[in-house]
Structure 1
Amino acid sequence: MTKLTDYVKTAEAAEILGVSQNTLRKWAEAGKIPMRRNPANGYRLFKRSDLEQFLKKLDQPTSNKRPK
């Protein structure tokens, strides 16, 4: 069962990812990172495990390296 403690608000999520809050909001609206809304107040919520997965994707090397 998911608990509210499994989620963080925009400011903390942005700090975890190392980006601005506005960047995180844009990524969420574009569907690049999953976002939920708190039903009580409408705040954006980001699941900690989703943030970890997102960081792991960024850490993977790409095979489309440009020649020097």
Structure 2
Amino acid sequence: MAETFRDYLRIKEAARVIGVSEATLRNWGKQGKIKVHRNPVNGYRLFKRSDLEAVLIALKRSADHG
């Protein structure tokens, strides 16, 4: 299945979805904890929904095993 623009969120939307700050997402991207894609037209950071779901699962697991 081909990916579409709807498969990606900009940083503000992505941060809201997983409950962290935009700065945290930027740092995680720099550290390689989450893959950051770039809009080829404007250079905005984009995050795949599936990557965000994986981060949410990992955050929940670490909270459960706290």
TM-score, normalised to structure 2, is 0.87
The structure with the largest helix share of the pair is 2
Q: Which runs of 5+ in 2 are unaligned?
A: none
Post-superposition shift, 1:7? Answer: 0.2
1:27 equivalent in structure 2? 28
The ranges of structure 1 where at least 4 consecutive aligned residues each deviate by more than 4 angstroms after the TM superposition are none
Q: Which runs of 5+ in 1 are unaligned?
A: none
* 1:4 matched to 2:12: no
1:44 equivalent in structure 2? 45
1:9-56 deviations in Å (ceiling 9; x for gaps): 000000011111111111111110111001111000000110001111
**For the pair shown, which has the larger CA radius of gyration, 1 or 2?**
1
